[in-house]
Structure 1
Amino acid sequence: MVRNVHTRRFPVSADRLVSLLDTLGTPHDRLWPVADWPPTRLDGPRTPGTPAGHGPVRYVVEEVSPDRLRCRFTAPAGVDGHHEFTIDGGALTHVLEASLHGRARLTWPLFFRPLHDALLEGLLDRAERDLTGRVARPVRWSPYVRFLRALGKIGSRVGRPAAKLRT
């Protein structure tokens, strides 16, 4: 079982975090680090059952409330679980919980986890910049993350039309 948690506390009201989270996956996304990563897309309204994803990762919206957005993974194969954003006071938290099967037992620790961690810290940096106007300690990619990104030619597709997501 994998449990991966990223959280950051901000000197703002929960309402400001809710407003920021509401932009996730929209054309006016202020949270996702689209300059460095493939954008996250929702294939419809933010309601349970809506397909979504970014890069090779696919999920379906499972739960939506002002202080929570939970999605269940549909791809890659071998990843059974969910990821969610929650807001508690001035804290924004992302939790990924999943059981891994088959190749995912190898690809998660070697490939997906380092990239996921870098992406989530970049997302929290972006939240900090939006909410406070600056980032106290910006994320720095490790040499391994830079190697993986170069190997997979990972980058943003900003400006390119979004394809419909299939789950």
Structure 2
Amino acid sequence: MRVINSHKRTINQPISMVYPLFKTLASPNDLVWPYEKWPAIKFKNGLYVGSSGGHGRVRYTIIEFTEGESIKFQFSKPIGFNGTHQLKIEELTENSVQISHIIRMETSFKATFFWIFIIRWLHNALIKDAFDKVENYFLTYNKETTYSIWVGLLRNLYKRKSYKTKHA
């Protein structure tokens, strides 16, 4: 199945204020990735082309990195996710940017079901949380996306499974 999954958000700040947050991605002081709610994103050799890593059970390798603009990853796991995802920052005006995340992939038969019923839901919630985190950096109040019942159920099942695996 062909998958194109796109998320965009306008941040009313100049790129000179937003881009420094993206330089913290996968660092101990990550100001983009919502590691407080999701498995942290990590890379073996930092944010460099060829560095491999991921988050949770999702693995990928950095295949393109343009400082101040975008970072693109090639999936290696889950098996059957054949494609890329990309995080971008684009200047819209002198005082606003658009941040975006897009997945472009083909899925195998088995991976299609995994995407449709599990990963897509969790992924969409994670990206909204990441965009909230970036936007909240500049707000005087905290914006927080509410999870659907299905996302809440999947997160609880995943946490239980992770807990059993770590403590067995």
TM range (shorter): 0.7 to 0.9
Task: Tell me the distance in 2 between the aligned counterparts of 1:130 and 1:151.
Answer: 30
Q: Which amino acid aligns with 2:56?
A: G
Aligned partner letter, 2:150: Y
2:86 aligned with 1:84: yes
Q: TM-score, normalised by structure 2?
A: 0.87
Aligned pair in 2 of structure 1 residues 44, 155: CA closer, same or farther (>3 Å)?
Answer: farther
Distance 2:85 2:57 in 1: 15
Distance of 2:160 and 2:120 partners within structure 1: 15
Q: Is 1:93 paired with 2:95?
A: no
Higher helix proportion: 2
Q: Aligned residue pairs: how many? A: 155
What is residue 63 of structure 1 aligned with on the other side? Answer: 64
Rounded Cα–Cα distance in structure 2 between residues aligned with 1:154 and 1:48: 34
For 1:33 and 1:96, the matched residues in 2 are separated by: 18
Q: 95, 109, 128: which is aligned to 2:135?
A: 128
Distance 1:55 1:44, change over 3 A: same
Correspondence 1:1-167 to 2 at 5 A: 1-65=2-66, 66-89=68-91, 90-136=97-143, 138-153=144-159
Task: Give me the whole-angstrom Cα distance separating, in 2, the residues matched to 1:67 and 1:34.
Answer: 22
Per-residue deviation at 1:154? 7.1
CA distance in 1, matches of 2:79, 2:70: 25
Report 1 or 2 for greater relative contact order, CA contacts < 8 Å, sequence distance ≥ 6. 1
The amino acid of 1:132's aligned partner reads L
CA distance in 2 between partners of 1:63 and 1:120 (Å): 20
Structure 2 residues without counterparts, runs of 5 or longer: 92-96, 163-168
Please list every run of at least 4 consecutive aligned residues from structure 1 whose deviation after the TM superposition is greater than 6 angstroms: none
Q: Secondary structure at the match of 1:15?
A: helix
Q: Once the 2 structures are TM-superposed, how far is the Cα of residue 17 of structure 1 from its aligned partner?
A: 2.1
Distance 2:42 2:84 in 1: 16
Alpha-carbon shift at residue 134 of structure 1 (Å): 3.1
Q: Distance in 2 between matches of 1:154 and 1:117?
A: 21
CA contact (8 A) 1:60 1:73 kept: yes
Q: Secondary structure at the match of 1:153?
A: helix
* RMSD (Å), alpha carbons: 1.7
Aligned letter for 2:57?
A: P
14-23 or 138-147: bigger deviation: 14-23
